Amino acid sequence: MFDLLPVAAAAAGLAALYAAPMGWRRLQLSRAKHPSLAGHSRMAVRLARLMPTQRFDDARFFNADDAPGEVVARRRASFAGLSRTLKTRHAQSIAATQAMKPSLPDLQFTSSYRVPPPFSPLVQRELPLGPVMAASDGHWLTDLDGQRFIDLAGSYGVNLFGYDFYRRCIAEGAKRVERLGPVLGVYHPLVEENVRRVLAHAQMDQLSFHMSGTEAVMQAVRLARYHTGKTHLVRFCGAYHGWWDEAQPGPGNPLPAERTYTLRDMHARSLQVLRTRRDIACVLVNPLQALHPNKPAPGDGSLVDSSRRASYDRDAYAAWLRELRQVCTDRGIALIFDEVFMGFRLGAGGAQAYFGVRADLVTYGKTLGGGLPIGVVCGRASWMKRYRDERPADVCFARGTFNTHPYVMGAMSVFLEALDEPRRQQQLLDQDAQQDSRRARLNAALEAEDLPLRAANMSSIWTLYYTQPSRYNWMLQYFLREQGLALSWVGTGRMIFSLDFSDADFDEVQRRIVAAARAMRDGGWWSSPALPSNKAIKRRLLMETLGFKH
């Protein structure tokens, strides 16, 4: 009788030999992920779905850190005074915002998640903000009540040269294309000039136009998959590449990102994954991550303690990109620089010139459109081609109704002409030293008054962080609002300076930031003797989440 035991043993041995490399690769992948929840998207989604709703009542709102009665009383008085000021000063703008809100899910979302959820209901009711604006002038905004703000939101990255500049781009651009008008599906002659100028800055062979940064990144990834025949993309922990499914794994995406690897930024284990896996089509790099590697875009909605930090080392990030470039070259992986946000803000040559590293594909957006919507993919010819001569049915399709819209092309042409002006080029070259100097001045002023607030920056992109444990740091955005500084809905996590700020203009911004920080301190929001460390605050948050009372 045939003995099956040796056959079974041999089969088991072969299975083990086959499984061992797969297990090792899986272990390498796990070790290359960031140890935080940001590096483990599936676990983060599960926890987010299980997290119960928490809403602080009036008493708990002002005493979430077990502060003494005297401090709670100061907070109540500070909150009431701030509420009266905002509601009175901006009544018409707030009313207009509230009228829009029931029909605009975007506004509902940003209003709800401007601060940590337990504090949100009372804040929405008593500290309403009116993001309805009537006019702009340089870096100033005016609301419906005639109140003026210094704009630090920067139109989410669009505003590089000042709003008057973009107003001119749109007006002059419209004149350049008015004979053709809004005719789609054809090309205005300006397209050729725009293509030539963009490719000269990007040092690439070809480009395609799209209508948003998210769309441009989607196309860049699609091209990488088409030419490599591989399935997976690599993104680095914390980086933002638009809101589409595969580039945004984790909470906020209802689907698992099955073909996305989220690896640790600036880490040798990530390079090892790239060297050994055979399914990786491309690597996405958002240069802004150099300001806060492995951390998501900082927003006050998640500002539950004072552990947020940021710092920028240009040389270190350039060295990392050089290593990444070499591995991608060796493995035939497309290196994609997602410069939708930072493109042309770091300089006319973008991140490639700024860090001295060449990508295979680059995406642009934001400021390039001269104030109008745009997305662009630039690349070497071998990566940009969308069909195969020898297999005519094997194509990489991408089109869009509004691509190369004549009015967008007109505004872009004005922007690109200005970008080539020597004075604009010099502005971009000088901005790092200028912004670093201003940040140092602000930090010195904050330190001189013993205020637990500091700034970090990457060129003209700034973020604020906090040096003393507190559950109420998110309140600062409302004191900044009282001081006439306009922030985006993420609050103090992101401030964007346009290059039309003079030193005198910045001095005024600094004065207002310091005044807001004083109001925070005097209102008792930075007093938390019962929770003296970030660790203690996080322990309290865990207990609250689990439903334990204290």
Residue with tokens 């745009």: 374
Q: What is the pLDDT of residues 204-219, one digit of tens each?
A: 999 999 999 999 999 9
Residue 12 forms part of a structural domain: no
| Residue 426, domain member (yes or no) | no
pLDDT score, position 54: 82
The answer to whether residue 251 is domain-embedded is yes
Indicate the DSSP class of residue 491: G
Range of the domain at 200: 173-420
* Side chain identity, residue 2: F
Contact 78, 519 (CB under 8 A): yes
Nearest to 466 by CA among 454, 480, 475: 454
Query: pLDDT for 24-65, tens place per residue?
Result: 667 777 787 777 767 777 776 676 666 667 889 999 999 999
Does residue 281 form part of some domain? yes
Instruction: Please tell me the number of Cα atoms within 13 Å of 114 on its side-chain side.
Output: 24
State the amino acid at position 211 in one-letter form: M
Mark whether 228 and 374 lie in a shared domain: yes
pLDDT on residue 248: 82
User: Is 396 within a domain?
Assistant: yes
CATH code, 218 = 3.40.640.10
How far are the Cα atoms of 92, 166, 411, 422 from residue 418, in angstroms, in the given order?
37, 11, 11, 9
Whether 454 is covered by a domain: the verdict is yes
Please state the φ and ψ torsions of residue 326, each to the nearest 5 degrees. -65, -45
Task: Check whether residue 178 and residue 309 sit in a common domain.
Answer: yes
441 domain residue, yes or no: no
Residues 278, 197 within the same domain:
yes
Q: Is 90 helix (H, G, I), strand (E, B) or coil?
A: coil
If asked whether residues 249 and 362 sit together in one domain, one would say yes
Residue 7 in domain: no
CATH number for the domain spanning 454: value is 3.90.1150.10
Residues 177 and 155 in one domain: no
Question: What pLDDT score was predicted for residue 22?
Answer: 65
pLDDT at position 1 = 42
Give the number of domains in the chain.
Answer: 2
What pTM was computed for the model?
0.92
Residues 320 and 469 placed together within one structural domain of the fold: no
The pLDDT score that the predictor gives to residue 34 is 75
Q: Are residues 254 and 398 in the same domain?
A: yes
| Distance separating alpha carbons of residues 171 and 326, to the nearest angstrom | 45
Q: Are residues 187 and 86 in the same domain?
A: no
Q: Does 356 lie in the same domain as 236?
A: yes
- Give the distance, in angstroms, between the CA of residue 313 and the centroid of all CA atoms in the same chain: 18
* Same domain membership, residue 483 and residue 348: no
- Domain boundary among the residues 420, 437, 465 is at 420
Residue 177 and residue 156 in one domain: no
Query: Which runs of E-coded beta strand occur in 65-159?
Result: 133-137, 140-143, 148-151
| Regions of the chain short of the pLDDT cut 70 | 1-22, 24-25, 37, 44-45, 47-52, 548-550
Q: Are 137 and 265 in a shared domain?
A: no
**What pLDDT, on the 0 to 100 scale, is given for residue 226?**
96
